[in-house]
Chain A
Amino acid sequence: MTSPTLAPGSSPARTGVWIGIAAITMSFTAYTSAMVVRQGSGADWHHVVLPGILYLDTVLLLLSSGTLELGRRRLRAGASGAMLLTVTLALGLLFLAGQLVAWRGLAAQGLYLSSNPASDFFYIFTALHGLHLIGGIAALGYLLGRLRADPAPPWSALEAVTLYWHFMGVLWLYLLVVLATRL
């Protein structure tokens, strides 16, 4: 993503991620407002006890943001950061596995997608966050592939992926607060 016409300091990849962040924020805002309206529109809202593994998952995701940031800094300093990026990717996959365990936990309580409006939103929020995280994992995989082929890091892609990954962490923290306080 370099071009002689590109203005200095501009990075379409980073801009693209910021635009993506705006769109994702907007869509989760829409889901949140739908949740608030739905909670008030019927008397059938039953609170959901959150599976404990969600908190472990949160730690994993925050840790992965840390390893990615460390990896990025190492690459910036001219050292190899591929290992830390691989650890990040593995932590991301572990997070997704943990989310699946959380779903199983909910199903064990007899709560499925249409059981009650609170569980609807639990599945919707976690599934959509997971889908977006899979996008981040794919981007990390792409980045690792590029690093393997050419030791000079693709800077703008690295910055963009890091930004997106951190946003996934922030989004999850927001969702966790929503899930813990509203559902």
Chain B
Amino acid sequence: MHESSAPPTSFLRKHVFSLDHKVIGKQYLDLALVAVVTGMVLSWLMRLHLAYPELAIPGLGRIAPNGAAGGVMTPELYLSIMTMHGTIMVFFVLTTAPFAGFGNYILPIQVGAEDMAFPRFNMMSFWVTCVAFLVLLAAFFVPEGPPLSGWTAYAPLSAIGKDAGPGQGTGQTLWAISIGIFCIGQLLGSLNFIATTLDLRARGMTLMRMPLSTWAWFITSVIGLIAFSVLLPACVLLVLDRVAGTSFFIPAGLVVSDRLQPHAGGSPLLWQHLFWFFGHPEVYIAILPGFGIVSHILPAFARKPLLGPKVAISCMAAIAFLSYTVWGHHMFLSGMNPLSATLFSVPTLIITIPATIMVLLWIGTVYGARMRFTTPALFCLGFVSVFVSGGISGFFLAQPSIDTYLHGTYFVVGHFHFVMGVAAMFGIFAATYFWFPKMYGRMMNETLGKWHFFLTLIGVYATFMPMHYLGLAGNIRRYSAFTDDYMKGSLPLHRFITMAALFTGAVQLLFFANLIWSRFRGAKAPANPWGATSLEWSIPSPPPHDNFGGKHPVVAHGPNEYGGTGPEGDHVMQATPESLGTV
């Protein structure tokens, strides 16, 4: 299926407009790296302002003269930065890195294919996503600045135009166009992931022999296919409301900035329904690859098979299905009928069952194991920890009566940053430390990696745990400062969180240093440094252009054959001939 067995020679074809899934995967990861640095810097700006509302941030006044004259940001600029932080992180980091990035690089190799089913669509998928990112960033450079309606872009605020505030003009239009383009990119990606998994598996690679990571990417792409197919129409309608004078989301008689809006008859709730029908599955698009990565990596370091792989696959499939039945739990405060709220609350509580089973399977896998505590293994264990910490607060929020109190507070900020943000990031880190040797042919530094893990773990707990207490104490979210009202008492804790966030950010320099140093100076990686079983470890590091060097792998084993004796030691690789492998 590879376009040609000989690698392309021109620079453009090799590194820029490459059809090779490995190059495209790396491009996605590089894009996510740029995005995550951007998003993290934005979060520091927010945190600095929350802790020291009078602080003039050097240089900010020059970058945003309208929003931060003299360097002290206005509440509007705070909201703009919050919007861009959320949008960049959710779309361009949590979707691109664990799903599009690692999925692109690893999935075709794990199923034994030479490339994705549609390499041209794959290339388009990346470049379309890249354009979406640039369009979003362009919002920083329009006169009124970026939008301020949050990453959820609630209508009518997002639909009205510049009457609704600075950034709601061109900035918000760019946001809607960017997300629409992003949807197209991810749809093309999902198409490739599904077709490749279904049609390009090597001989003997039955569905049940696929590694859990590939299962997770496959299920995630099914979720993405449906979710982005709904977000795209929502963005189209939003753009039409903004530029063509239609009224899908804007009700009649709305007076904003002393001006009667020239719209009538629209439904702001329609946007919320369309958005959250995408938005809740999006949470699983961010986290399911992490489920797969952890389920794939943990056994390699526990030297034990994953407990209940079929149960794990069923749980992920159940989560995918249930993720489409719970979107209303984001809308308990929208004035919905209490009966509807109950109908959304029940599946929300039910979805915790497969999620909990997954956690038990991971714990059961490492229980009694002689763990090899490498950096990727540590990040997997960290993933389980933060996923549980963030997941437990979900039990509270799933209940409408409790959510009514907590929804507008920092409790929710703490919840989703743990369960979706940090957990997914830990999955990304685990995947990076695990697959880096395969991708670049060099090992990452273990000492730096372990420091990175422990300091990050401390940092994220110090950052997000206190937010739960702030929320319980009624500290409202989305405000830019807590100085003039009853929330003044929360300022010391906010300062602590800011320190923790800056600390966690600084710790990431260890990661960047490790990435760059290992890329050029790391120890040469053997084909299978971890003694793992799946197909990517039976080919050289880094893999040849067509992955398997012109050969067609034949699979005779499942991905979970750890413990016992095989020709390679205490494990049997998937490509080991049947007669040789016993576990």
A residues apposed to B, CB below 8 Å: 1, 3-7, 10-12, 15-16, 19-20, 22-24, 26-27, 29-31, 33-34, 37-38, 41-45, 113-114, 117, 120, 124
Contact between A42 and B266 (Cβ–Cβ < 8 Å)? yes
A43 — which chain B residues lie within 8 A by C-beta?
A: 265
Contact between A7 and B199 (Cβ–Cβ < 8 Å)? yes
Q: When the two chains form the complex, which single residue of A5, A16, A41 contacts B270, counting CB atoms closer than 8 Å? A: A41
Q: In whole Å, how far is A39's beta carbon from the nearest beta carbon of chain B?
A: 9
Contact between A120 and B1 (Cβ–Cβ < 8 Å)? no
Contact between A5 and B113 (Cβ–Cβ < 8 Å)? yes
Contact between A3 and B232 (Cβ–Cβ < 8 Å)? no
B252 — which chain A residues lie within 8 A by C-beta?
A: 42, 44
> Other CB < 8 Å A-B pairs besides A34-B237, A45-B265, 17 of them?
A3-B200, A11-B199, A12-B117, A12-B196, A23-B187, A30-B234, A38-B265, A41-B265, A41-B267, A42-B265, A43-B265, A44-B265, A114-B244, A117-B265, A120-B246, A120-B248, A124-B240
Contact between A7 and B247 (Cβ–Cβ < 8 Å)? no
Q: In whole Å, how far is B161's beta carbon from the nearest beta carbon of chain A?
A: 14
Interface locus among B87-95, B222-230, B393-401, B465-473: B222-230
A42 — which chain B residues lie within 8 A by C-beta?
A: 247, 251-252, 264-267
Decide yes or no whether B274 CB sits under 8 A from chain A: yes
Within the assembled complex, what's the spacing in Å between the Cα atoms of A24 and B245? 26
Contact between A27 and B232 (Cβ–Cβ < 8 Å)? yes
Contact between B552 and A4 (Cβ–Cβ < 8 Å)? yes
A23 with B199: in contact, given A42-B252, A120-B248 (CB under 8 Å)?
no
Q: Which of B230, B244, B245 lies at the interface centre, i.e. has the most chain A CB atoms within 10 A of its CB?
A: B230
Contact between B195 and A15 (Cβ–Cβ < 8 Å)? yes
B250-284 with Cβ < 8 A to chain A: 251-252, 264-267, 269-270, 273-274, 277
Q: Which 3 A-B pairs have the closest CB atoms?
A: A42-B265, A26-B229, A41-B267
Chain B residues touching A, range: 35 or more
Contact between A113 and B246 (Cβ–Cβ < 8 Å)? yes
A19 with B225: in contact, given A42-B247, A114-B244 (CB under 8 Å)?
yes
B265 to A, closest residue via Cβ: A42
Decide yes or no whether B112 CB sits under 8 A from chain A: yes
Q: In whole Å, how far is A26's beta carbon from the nearest beta carbon of chain B?
A: 4
B194 — which chain A residues lie within 8 A by C-beta?
A: 15, 19
- List, sorted by A's number, 29 A–B pairs whose CB atoms are closer than 8 Å: A5-B1, A5-B202, A7-B199, A7-B201, A10-B198, A11-B199, A12-B1, A12-B117, A12-B195, A16-B191, A16-B195, A19-B191, A22-B225, A23-B225, A23-B228, A23-B229, A26-B230, A30-B229, A31-B233, A34-B237, A37-B269, A38-B266, A41-B251, A41-B267, A43-B265, A113-B240, A117-B246, A117-B247, A124-B240
